[in-house]
Amino acid sequence: MKRKSLEDSVCSVARTLDVIGDWWSLLIVRDALNGMSRFGEFQKNLGIAKNMLTVRLKQLVDNGIFELRPASDGSAWHEYVLTEKGRALQTVLAALSQWGCENLYAKDETRSVLVDSQQHRPIRKLTLQAEDGRELKPDEIITQARSSS
């Protein structure tokens, strides 16, 4: 059964999920943000079936998250390189990571944590802020349909 497309939705969450809502897609982007770029690297690290990885990478390329480039080492292989649009998903993955750390682990359970690559200290918790810098709570945020102009 074919999934309904959300590409024409007014809701930006729905449109985003239409592009990257599959868990494999987000894990592929996560791995790319961690320096992976080759099909074999993604396949080995994720343990995903080759046919499924092929489909996901094609969708991510078609949606402008990755671009396919000749391998930087001059080999016959290709590399999947995140576009600016793809790199912008780092904030989304950071929010998911922080939520998971806070809500899905026992107190003393080992977990992956995002850290500053220079100081090796955990990054600050992401928060939602008003234009004036005030931190907003969930009940202080509403959704409105607006044109981008």
Give me the pLDDT at residue 147, please: 87
* Tokens matching residue 16: 């985003």
At residue 149, the 3 state secondary structure works out as: coil
Q: How many Å is the Cα radius of gyration of the chain?
A: 18
Does the residue 64 lie in any domain?
Answer: yes
The rounded distance, in Å, linking the Cα atoms of 128 and 2 is 35
Total H helices, total E strands in the chain: 6, 2
Give me the pLDDT at residue 1, please: 64
Q: Does the pLDDT of residue 91 top 70, yes or no?
A: yes
Q: In angstroms, how far is the first alpha carbon of the chain from the final one?
A: 37
The reported pTM is 0.89
Does the residue 2 lie in any domain?
Answer: no
Does the residue 131 lie in any domain?
Answer: no
Domain ranges, residue 60:
12-87
Does the residue 28 lie in any domain?
Answer: yes
At residue 95, the 3 state secondary structure works out as: helix
What are the CA-CA distances from residue 85 to residues 9, 20, 21 (Å)?
19, 12, 15
The CATH number for 49's domain is 1.10.10.10
Does the residue 97 lie in any domain?
Answer: no
Which H or E run includes 75? Answer: none
Confidence of residue 9 (pLDDT cuts 50, 70, 90): confident
Burial of 3 (0-12, 13-18, 19+ CB in 10 A): exposed
Give me the pLDDT at residue 143, please: 93
The per-residue pLDDT of the chain, averaged, comes to 94
Burial of 120 (0-12, 13-18, 19+ CB in 10 A): exposed
How many domains in the chain? 1
Percent share of the chain, pLDDT over 70: 97
Q: Does the pLDDT of residue 116 top 70, yes or no?
A: yes
Across residues 134-144, what is the average pLDDT?
A: 96
Across residues 72-100, what is the average pLDDT?
A: 96
Q: Does the pLDDT of residue 85 top 70, yes or no?
A: yes
pLDDT, tens digit, 9 for 90 and up, residues 35-69: 999 999 999 999 999 999 999 999 999 999 999 99
